[in-house]
Amino acid sequence: MDVKVSSTPRGSYRKFLEQLSGAGKAIGVLTSGGDAQGMNAAVRAVVRMGIYVGAKVYFIYEGYQGMVDGGSNIVEANWESVSSILQVGGTIIGSARCKAFRTREGRLKAASNLVHRGITNLCVIGGDGSLTGANIFRKEWSSLLEELARDGKIDHEAVQKYAYLNVVGMVGSIDNDFCGTDMTIGTDSALHRIIEVVDAIMTTAQSHQRTFVLEVMGRHCGYLALVSALACGADWVFLPESPPEEGWEESMCVKLSENRARKKRLNIIIVAEGAIDTQNRPITSEKIKELVVTQLGYDTRVTILGHVQRGGTPSAFDRILASRMGVEAVIALLEATPETPACVVSLSGNQAVRLPLMECVQMTQDVQKAMDERRFKDAVQLRGRSFETNLNTYKRLAIKLPDDQIPKTNCNVAVINVGAPAAGMNAAVRSAVRVGIADGHKMFAVYDGFDGFAKGQIKEIGWGDVGGWTGQGGSILGTKRILPGKYLDKIATQIRTHNINAVLIIGGFEAYLGLLELSAAREKYEEFCIPMVMVPATVSNNVPGSDFSIGADTALNTITDTCDRIKQSASGTKRRVFIIETMGGYCGYLANMGGLAAGADAAYIFEEPFDIRDLQSNVEHLTEKMKTTIQRGLVLRNESCSENYTTDFIYQLYSEEGKGVFDCRKNVLGHMQQGGAPSPFDRNFGTKISARAMQWISTKLKEAPGKGKKFVSDDSICVLGISKRNVVFQPVTELKKETDFEHRIPKEQWWLKLRPVMKILAKYRTSYDVSDSGQLEPVQQQNGQEEHAAI
């Protein structure tokens, strides 16, 4: 049955997946254009979700070419066809550029092939060219069928029965060059490849005092170049959308030599392959190398990354993104009517949205047009708020004005790390220090958390002191779980002694508790009546007031990589089930999202209570699974999900119940999840959110030009976070009511909505609330009041 979507505002009615049926429908899924990591995760989600709702799903091999050629290129898929592809890069159903489909003849053949199999729903995973092709096909559909009927290729009944074609697109492109979506499938994985290379090159460049020019992909879009420059603190970056000003050759050489004079032993220059100057002339990596060698005489090497960026296994982010988009695409196809325009499912903040396909394509083409007409400011704006923020943040952090050009504020700002270490903390500190200095403040580093604060381990920290910090894991400043409560006297004294005017705290749940204690102590100590802001950084992702925290993405990638290896070992031995324990305290984020990214059969979390009957049904489910061709199982368990159903208990239960059918192994991941170099997401997120926190501090300090203004209002002591699609500062006192203090988690967590997605993809029947999906949204509906949180 179709669900009537009334025009009532969201939330006033509930809509469940059970109300949608795919019976009698056939969906064709194809990947087209350049490949991207994560396409397989999207294909897997479309196939499994399609089968789950009762539709038939067909693979269309080799993109549009396969659709035109028909025959064995269009094959019905089953549940097991997409097993073990989640961790594979590229696309298992192949992709090809297709000239034939650009002609009406080709499209006639394609229509005939689809009608003979009853396929009237297409899910296209590709770039803007592929999606435009799909839309032309949709518009011509009825006239193509009429022509086929006239030529006697199909009967008139078929024309009636298959009268309209529905199209839903997902953008798979490593360049992130599609307007309207924050992240395209494959972008995050490409950044992983680039950052792995940059980290490796930095060590050798350091040894020889070399300059490296790195060329990354992006013929028309500088996203990869820009974000990798932001994530590794590159000295200079060349983008197609924002060419360097006239005379850049000189400015760049001055910048490089200044950095060398500051005892920096290496220079990194990142170039997008489509980089141009203001006259639209190409700027090549070789040209830059020649310039550096002739002007400065530095030992300079060029590294062109090329197709490495398209390869390799998809990152956790891309797997989760593609799985969510695939599920959303099937729901969109089930809800489509003959009047529904072709849509594309995409990401805004952390929400899945549907956008009109052609509006997005039009905007994407407008960017190119603006670049061709040398309207570069427009090009940057059309790319979206996220691109602009990245560019401005990069400029602030890369280029230091001479001291005499920075107006001094005479304010001292302290930066402190609190709680357990999380990858990306150092990127956040670097960003805060540099933005603070650029704003005219004196920056102070507090070593070893509140403990060090009380003991006076406080030092001024300069621009050069934080160079090269973005790629370092852990916490260079040192961090402790100790709360300030016992040391309020001593901390107040230190604030007075060092004349500190504002504090930026980077940390996890302890930082949040510490902030609450400082807030409560304002009545007694006027020293705490200064602006204070906290940036969430913890692998557990359990800080109230933010959907994401720095460090969680790196931990998720560690879990996913480990699960991939374990699954491989299990598929070698056959009939084996692995039980893996993840960190997170009582917060099930890592277990749940790790389960979604690794393709787990179950994930036990504290937020969703389970009993012995659930464990029993999971064992039965795995017993059934062992009868199929997929003879392995993966179960994740959050470390504190249950007091009595421990990892050992579950392991013993599974071992006993699975006797003769499968054997069991267990694995506790432990502190591996806190270590390692930060992922590109965490470097970028830490850098941007921390810069935003410093801007807030600067604004607050401007409100109090005279010394001695006391900040006593609640909105001067905040947690900065991302909520749905916006960046928000929330007073820590207001967050109290949203916190479960006993279990150290927020009372409401957005990711619990994704629980059913994991279950559906693991072949469980479940209830799935799809009230949030539905209406098509116009592109760029961002109003000026709220800050859009593009990751």
Which are the contacts of 82, defined by CB distance < 8 A and separation ≥ 6? 40, 43, 44, 47, 48
Nearest to 506 by CA among 428, 614, 442, 445: 428
Q: In what order do the strands lie in the sheet with 267-272?
A: 236-238, 267-272, 211-216, 300-304
- C-beta separation of 627 from 541 below 8 A: no
Helix/strand/coil percentages in the chain, nearest 5: 45, 15, 35
Tell me the CA distances in angstroms from 81 to 324, 338, 629, one per residue in order. Answer: 19, 31, 10
Rounded (10°) CA dihedral 683, 686, 689, 691: -80
Would you say the C-alpha torsion 713, 714, 718, 724 has a positive or negative sign?
negative
DSSP H helices in 507-551: 509-520
Rounded to an integer, what distance in angstroms lies between the CA atom of residue 237 and that of residue 761?
A: 41
Residue with tokens 């983008």: 239
Rounded to an integer, what distance in angstroms lies between the CA atom of residue 169 and that of residue 359?
A: 13
Rounded to an integer, what distance in angstroms lies between the CA atom of residue 632 and that of residue 60?
A: 28
Nearest to 411 by CA among 687, 692, 691, 706: 706
Question: What is the SS3 string spanning 215-242?
Answer: EECCCCCCHHHHHHHHHHCCCEEECCCC
Quote the tokens at residue 507: 């940390």
Is 398 strand, coil or helix?
Answer: helix
Rounded to an integer, what distance in angstroms lies between the CA atom of residue 198 and that of residue 227?
A: 12
Would you say the C-alpha torsion 489, 494, 499, 504 has a positive or negative sign?
negative
Residue with tokens 């699954």: 567
Rounded to an integer, what distance in angstroms lies between the CA atom of residue 506 and that of residue 215?
A: 33
The yes-or-no answer on residue 175 being catalytic is yes
Q: How many residues does the chain have?
A: 791
Which are the contacts of 512, defined by CB distance < 8 A and separation ≥ 6? 534, 536, 543, 544, 545, 719, 732, 735, 739
Nearest to 319 by CA among 633, 539, 724, 598: 598
User: Rounded to the nearest 5°, which phi and psi values hold at 137?
Assistant: -60, -45
Annotated catalytic residue, options 35, 69, 128, 175: 175
Rounded to an integer, what distance in angstroms lies between the CA atom of residue 31 and that of residue 64?
A: 8
Quote the tokens at residue 609: 């209570």
- C-beta separation of 507 from 446 below 8 A: no
Bridge-partner residues for 788, per DSSP?
726
Nearest to 550 by CA among 392, 733, 691: 691
**Positions marked active-site:** 175
